[in-house]
Chain A
Amino acid sequence: MIELNELTDAAQKAFPADALSPGRDESWRLVAEMGWLMVRLPEEDGGLGLDREASAAIHFEMGRVLATTPLIPAQLGLQAVLASEIAARVEWLERLAGGEYAPLHLLPAKLEAAPNGTLSGVVGGVFDADMAMAVVAKLPSGYALVPTDAPGVSIVERAIWDPSRRLFDIVLDGYAPDPALMLTDADGAAALHDALAPEAHLAVAADCLGAANAALELTIEYMKMRRQFDRPIAMFQALKHRAADMKARIAVAEALLWNRVRDDAATLVQCGAAKTLAAEAFAFVTEEAIQLHGGIGLTEEHPIHRFMKRAMLNLQLCGSPDLWNERTGREALG
């Protein structure tokens, strides 16, 4: 059994804090070598068989360095294949664990089926589709692997503000789904979604909080170094109090994250709530971070804006805060 702190140490060694957003392809090779693509793959299927806590610990470290490598959608894609009963399941799992990429899309699909069964429309929120051999997409007939080189499939990069990630649409134009690649039927889609969604929420939440910690550290460091009125600005109580609030928001969101990560009975809505709190904390911290950096925070040269941009994108992944707050409220109302 791999200890959590060993995992964290290894992650920090492989992805040192002073190198933000290291190159994607090199990072991907590193991530595959370290076995992180198969963290949640059971040992009997050739994986590491680690729990949600181990997985969250890795995503936390990936957030800390604003990782460019699409580990979250890769893990979710692998889990979708794992949960399926397709004929080539074992072969697919081996390929995915070995470094081939078939991500789950993280934004909704808008597709229409023609009378002959072919599909047209857009599957949104696919990270790094340029390196994907297939995408795990929710089609009207269920979840399926959609090969990116199949006829009727094209990938379109959508420029995003967040420079640490690359987002694509998968555009289908008369695509005929391959029955051998259907991971679920229409009825099974909801169950697979509900099984994967908590994983997705907890992973994104961990990414948020790793990054929020790093943004706070950068900000504190800057405030200690930057001098005005003959003293470091970190000495002014008005600014210290804002830093303290940033720290408190992170700490509270972290406590909820780890609580839900360790609670196997945590519901989908509870995981969505943990992600919402984490993403809101991350957004708050980065908003404050730019203000506390003053003018330098508005320059592209200084990295702090990159944290803010990742935070804004993370807020919208897996459902917006409005959606999850509403669902949390509805559930608590009983």
Chain B
Amino acid sequence: MTDTPDLEALRREVRAFLAAEAPTGWRDASRTQDDFVRTQRDWFTRLVSAGYAIPHWPAAFPGGGRSLAEQKVIYEELAKADCPRLLLSFVSTYHAFATLHECATREQQDRYLPRILEGETWCQGFSEPGAGSDLAAIKTRAERKGDVYVVNGQKVWSTMAQFADKCLLLVRTSSDGPKQAGITYLLMDMKAPGVSVRPIHQIQGDEEFAEIFLDNVEIPVSERVGEEGKGWAVAQATLASERGLTLMELSYRMRGALARVASLIREHGHEDDRGVLRDFGELVTQVDAVCAVADQFLDNRIKGIERIGDASIIKNSYSRALRAYAKLGLRLGGIAEQYVAPITFGDLNTGNWMADFMNSYAWTIAGGSEEVQRNIIAERMLDMPREPKAWVA
């Protein structure tokens, strides 16, 4: 879609801001987890004051009230300027915001939303060791005792929970009836007694996720979102909070990072190797197509058109292109890539090809695995029958 005059003006405004303020050298300043967190907090604060951190929030908040088309412009420019992605505040500004905005009481909203802009961060306590793709199978128990719920259980794959102040927590308050019916949604203070967090050491040396252990944690009933037993519906609001901007942004970033593969080709003197050029060309087209499909999806949403399954196609296409990108770099880099080199926290296209390759699995597994997305495409877009539910061991 071409920009309207308003969008063009916004684009110029964002570009001018980024020309002056876009962080440079942030990759070198994100070699340790602590430095990464500092870089993230700093950039978030600057984006909040510039009015670009929360374009999807209501107009009552500074920088809010932006249309999806305007949000798209902002994210396109952030990606093109190669700014750090806002990872540490992502759950707060998207998942926590959407949950609070759509499902919480006025008191809860007034208490928490302003604090997010001051830097309070949230994590998501959804997945459990026995509830990944089958999320409704969660077992973490909450028992009501007077004015509090007493919670026991374990959560896993919680993004950056080790730095979070608050948690969006799904618990089981009943085991009767369908498994979705016994789920309740709570807002938990990560500093409450009984909460312990253990970062998960990932295969590439990052610690993007953590486990959360809950041992008789008391959560006031006033921190419940929605009715008891109605948490599944609230969780849908959380999960639907991201409206396609992330994958568009990531696709644009990958397109920008094709320059890394190009440098590698030149470094190794492959400029006239037709096999290498073909593989590179194929990747370039694959990445361009992912950008086009992510773009089309957002343009359709702006127009109010959306088909079930579109988001699954984009996620699978992006994550496959990301894997192909890392694999080509890994192949061209040769043995040099097998020597351990420093990683960059919070970036998917770093040029540390072994790390990028390993990191790419986060996108084929997290957020609904590639296989679950295929089920959605097959069953909900192509209308193929579901497998029978009953299974007897």
Residues on A lying within 8 angstroms of B by beta carbon are: 216, 220, 223-224, 231-232, 234-237, 240-241, 243-245, 247-248, 251-253, 255-256, 258-259, 270, 273-274, 276-277, 322, 324-334
- B296: chain A residues at CB < 8 Å are 255, 258-259
Contact yes or no, A329 B281, CB < 8 A: yes
Closest to B385 in A: A235
Cβ of B111 under 8 Å from chain A: no
Contact yes or no, B274 A326, CB < 8 A: yes
Closest to B265 in A: A333
Closest to B381 in A: A247
Contact yes or no, B284 A252, CB < 8 A: no
- B274: chain A residues at CB < 8 Å are 326
- A235: chain B residues at CB < 8 Å are 384-388
Shortest CB-to-CB span from B194 to chain A, Å, is: 40
Interface size on B, residues (CB 8 A): 42
**Further contacts, 10 of them, CB under 8 A, given A241-B374, A244-B381:** A235-B385, A247-B381, A251-B313, A251-B317, A273-B284, A277-B286, A322-B278, A329-B281, A329-B282, A334-B262
- A236: chain B residues at CB < 8 Å are 387
Closest to B261 in A: A332
Contact yes or no, B262 A220, CB < 8 A: no
Cβ of B382 under 8 Å from chain A: yes
Closest to A220 in B: B382
Cβ of B91 under 8 Å from chain A: no
Shortest CB-to-CB span from B141 to chain A, Å, is: 32
- A258: chain B residues at CB < 8 Å are 292, 296
Q: How many angstroms between the C-alpha atoms of A232 and B385 in the bound complex?
A: 8
Shortest CB-to-CB span from B380 to chain A, Å, is: 10
- 8 Å CB interface, B253-296 against A: 258, 262, 265-266, 271, 274, 276-282, 284-286, 288-290, 292-293, 295-296
Q: List 16 A-B contacts (CB under 8 A).
A: A223-B384, A231-B388, A235-B384, A240-B379, A244-B374, A248-B313, A251-B293, A255-B295, A256-B285, A273-B281, A273-B284, A325-B281, A328-B282, A331-B281, A332-B262, A333-B266
Contact pick for B371, options A220, A224, A241, A259, CB 8 Å? A241
- B262: chain A residues at CB < 8 Å are 332-334
Cβ of B93 under 8 Å from chain A: no
Cβ of B316 under 8 Å from chain A: yes
Residues on B lying within 8 angstroms of A by beta carbon are: 258, 262, 265-266, 271, 274, 276-282, 284-286, 288-290, 292-293, 295-296, 310, 313, 316-317, 371, 373-375, 377-379, 381-388
Q: How many angstroms between the C-alpha atoms of A114 and B48 in the bound complex?
A: 75
Q: How many angstroms between the C-alpha atoms of A248 and B266 in the bound complex?
A: 33
Q: How many angstroms between the C-alpha atoms of A79 and B276 in the bound complex?
A: 36
Q: How many angstroms between the C-alpha atoms of A223 and B290 in the bound complex?
A: 28
- A276: chain B residues at CB < 8 Å are 285
With A251-B313, A259-B292 known as contacts, the answer to whether A234 contacts B280 (CB < 8 A) is: no
With A273-B281, A328-B281, A333-B280 known as contacts, the answer to whether A244 contacts B375 (CB < 8 A) is: yes
Shortest CB-to-CB span from B286 to chain A, Å, is: 8
Q: How many angstroms between the C-alpha atoms of A235 and B385 in the bound complex?
A: 5
Mostly, the B contact residues are helix
Closest to B309 in A: A247
Contact yes or no, B281 A327, CB < 8 A: yes
Contact yes or no, B385 A224, CB < 8 A: yes
Contact pick for A248, options B317, B383, B384, B388, CB 8 Å? B317
Contact yes or no, B316 A248, CB < 8 A: yes
With A241-B371, A248-B377 known as contacts, the answer to whether A220 contacts B384 (CB < 8 A) is: yes
- B292: chain A residues at CB < 8 Å are 252, 255-256, 258-259
Which residue of B276, B285, B292, B373 has the most chain A CB atoms within 10 A of its CB atom? B285
Q: How many angstroms between the C-alpha atoms of A42 and B282 in the bound complex?
A: 35
Q: How many angstroms between the C-alpha atoms of A169 and B390 in the bound complex?
A: 61
- B373: chain A residues at CB < 8 Å are 244
Shortest CB-to-CB span from B385 to chain A, Å, is: 5
Q: How many angstroms between the C-alpha atoms of A223 and B379 in the bound complex?
A: 13
Q: What 6 A-B pairs come out closest when comparing CB atoms? A: A329-B281, A328-B281, A329-B277, A255-B293, A240-B378, A244-B377
Contact yes or no, B313 A224, CB < 8 A: no
Which residue of A241, A253, A256, A333 has the most chain B CB atoms within 10 A of its CB atom? A333
Contact pick for A326, options B281, B371, B384, CB 8 Å? B281
Shortest CB-to-CB span from A116 to chain B, Å, is: 39
Contact yes or no, B280 A244, CB < 8 A: no
Q: How many angstroms between the C-alpha atoms of A258 and B371 in the bound complex?
A: 28
- B289: chain A residues at CB < 8 Å are 252-253, 255-256, 277
Contact yes or no, B386 A324, CB < 8 A: no
Q: How many angstroms between the C-alpha atoms of A324 and B274 in the bound complex?
A: 11
- B374: chain A residues at CB < 8 Å are 240-241, 244-245
Closest to B2 in A: A262
Q: How many angstroms between the C-alpha atoms of A331 and B280 in the bound complex?
A: 10
Which residue of A237, A248, A328, A329 has the most chain B CB atoms within 10 A of its CB atom? A329
Contact yes or no, A244 B382, CB < 8 A: yes
Closest to A270 in B: B288
Shortest CB-to-CB span from A292 to chain B, Å, is: 12
Contact yes or no, A326 B284, CB < 8 A: no
- A247: chain B residues at CB < 8 Å are 313, 377-378, 381-382
Contact yes or no, B293 A252, CB < 8 A: yes
Contact yes or no, B277 A240, CB < 8 A: no
- B278: chain A residues at CB < 8 Å are 322, 325-326, 329
Shortest CB-to-CB span from B95 to chain A, Å, is: 26
- B265: chain A residues at CB < 8 Å are 333
Q: How many angstroms between the C-alpha atoms of A258 and B299 in the bound complex?
A: 13
With A277-B289, A326-B274, A329-B276 known as contacts, the answer to whether A240 contacts B384 (CB < 8 A) is: yes
Q: How many angstroms between the C-alpha atoms of A233 and B316 in the bound complex?
A: 24
Contact yes or no, A240 B317, CB < 8 A: no
- B282: chain A residues at CB < 8 Å are 325, 328-329
Q: How many angstroms between the C-alpha atoms of A253 and B277 in the bound complex?
A: 21
- B271: chain A residues at CB < 8 Å are 333
- A255: chain B residues at CB < 8 Å are 289, 292-293, 295-296
- B295: chain A residues at CB < 8 Å are 255, 259
- B281: chain A residues at CB < 8 Å are 273, 324-332
- A237: chain B residues at CB < 8 Å are 375, 387
With A235-B386, A255-B292, A273-B284 known as contacts, the answer to whether A240 contacts B375 (CB < 8 A) is: yes
